[in-house]
Structure formats: C-alpha cells, structure tokens
A and B are shown apart, each in its own frame.
Chain A
Amino acid sequence: MEVFEQNASDNKYLHRDFHISMNMLMEYIFERYGAKALTEYLETFSREFHKERKTLLKKRGLVSLKEYLEDIYNAEEWEVEISMTDGELILRQAACPGITYIKEKGFVPIDRYIETYTTVYKELCRETSYEYEMVNFDEETGACTQVFRRRKS
C-alpha cells in the first residue's frame, strides 16, 4: 500500500492546465452557439466574478485595479509591465500566459481568445467612470498593450 498526504499549504495554487480547460469551454460555446453567445458568457462571468472589483473601482479608482492585476500576474508567475499615470493604467506584456501554455501543450487557442481580455475588462468598466482599450494584440503570442483610463465626459 502506497500512501501520499499533502496539506493545502504545501503547494502554490497554480494549475496551468486550467488554461486548456478554459479554452475548451470557450471553444465549445462558440462552436455550439456562436460568437454572440461566447461574448454573452464572458460578460456574465465578468459581471459576477468582478462584482466586488467594480465596486472597488468606483470607490478607489484605478489603484484598486492596479493592485488586482499585480496580484494575478504574480500568482501566474508571469512578467508584465504595469504603469500608472494620471488617469491611466497601462499594461504591457510580451506574451499571454494562457496562449503560451495552451500552445506549449499542443492545443490551439480559439480565434477569439482576445475576448478573455477585452470582453471581461470592458464589462468590468461598464457603469464606472473608467473605460478599457486593447491598444494592440498579437494573436500568435498574446503580446499586448492594454489601457484603463478615465472616461472623457
């Protein structure tokens, strides 16, 4: 009999295979129900998951988003350049952790993978004083520049 025991604190929570499962879920929704349904799903996810973050964004502004984004990139162990100027939060990454891992494992990221950024973050900014823009995005690597900024009134 072989027994192995592990406590939650023994390991870091970083199961990169979840990127593959996420891609499969999006692909399934897209192929079965179309592009509009995929967008609708991601908007719903963002609305539910980022509910508290949206409240923080309204209360504390871009600094709350900066802290959140630093946290998730740290958790992913992924390099990103995050800078904040007056009224603008800019993110630059040389590659996307999801796209990179999915490809490394021999799978193909869906064509609309960009929506895990654009749809999710636009929904997060909806009904706040801020807006989101994907300035450029390399479909092959996910290298991109993203900006959150205060809306012009």
Chain B
Amino acid sequence: MSELLRSEGLTKRFAGLTAADRIDFALEAGSVRCIIGPNGAGKTTFLSMISGHQKPTSGVIYYKGRDITALSVVERARIGIARKFQTPTVFDALTAYQNVELAVLGTRRPKHQQRARIFEVLDLIRLADEWAKPVQFLSHGQRQWLEVGLLIAIEAELLLLDEPTAGMTATETAATVRLINMLTREFGLSVIIIEHDINFIRDLHSPVTVLHLGRVLMEGSFDEVATNEAVREIYLGDAA
C-alpha cells in the first residue's frame, strides 16, 4: 500500500493556546484510522487543517506526495479530500435525491448517467426509499449517512468524518461500521474518523491515534490503546 496522507510538524496556535502541537501523522491508501482523545485534545483542529478549514500555524501536509498546505477547502475537495462535519451539514430544505444530485453535479458526470448514480449512492447509504423526502424530516442518523453519501457522490478518496455515529442507535452504529468497511475494502477509499463511541472503534478494527493536549500520545491497535496505562490515565483524569 502507498502512503496517501502525511503531516509533518502540524501546529495550530490560537491566541495563547496550542490546539495542535507538531503532529506527525501518516495514512496508507485504503485504510481507516480512528482519532480519539479527551475534549480539547485537538482532534477537530487536526481534521480542520487536513480539510483546509483552518490554516496551520506551521507544518506541512502532503497528499499523494504533493504539498497541499496552501490549498483551499474547495481545491482540496476537488483533489479528493472531503469532510463530514460534527453536526450534519446537508441541504435541509432539499430532498435526499436533490442532496445527492448536487454532489454528483460536482463530478461532471454525463447527464444520462446521473440518475442511476444518484440512486446507487442512495442505495449505499440506505436512503433510496426516502429519496423524495426533504432531508430535514430524516432522523439524525440518516442525516449523518446522507452527509457521508455526499462525500461518496463527489468521488472523494479521503473521507474525514467528524463523529459520524453521534446520535445513532446501536443498530445504526453497527450499520455504519459495515458501510465504512465496504467503502475501504470495495471502493478503496481511505477514512479518518474522530469518534468517542468506544464500541464503534473496537468494531472497526482499525489502528487508533490518541491525541492529548494537541500532541500524539500514542498510535496502535485498539487493544494496544485500550490497555495502555497513559491512555487510561488521561481518560480517567478527564472523567474525574
């Protein structure tokens, strides 16, 4: 497997606060990585620097070997880096079909192929039966999926998912695990996920990066991370 994404010394300082501190990170193409850490660990800040929503104070980001640090959100989305936000960010007043259609329009697919493609994506995210419904009437979990569907529809190669299972039932969370596994195994996509749901992370069987106070505390398998003394401490410390 080849390397898809790499960050070197990625740092973000807000007045007086270092939200991300010299983060070195690498992701293989076609793989999944979970990022965990207590509140304020810098998870969303890190994701925002990868998606282009925040400019790093210092450090470099490489995507497919190319320095993309200076690229805008739009430019990064065009080369295949797409982000799902913490709160579902979809087109509330439009139908599920229209939502996916907008994303498909970004791919310049010929018109006669668009409808089939839209339903292909809707099938994947289990919204084909709800295609005509304005998405403000969908459940929170369905809206989360729809947003992931939009990223699939623009043919993104690296999905950045900020808390994709927040507000989901256990069944929906399990289905999300299957969806993400299918995206990586069958479509070869790469996924970075910020999550708090420990069952979800365990079921994904993906490597985990632990952030703490803006720095990488450790990286390893779920079992390695779960049994690590330092990780237990920051989580227990956070709870206390």
A and B pair up: no
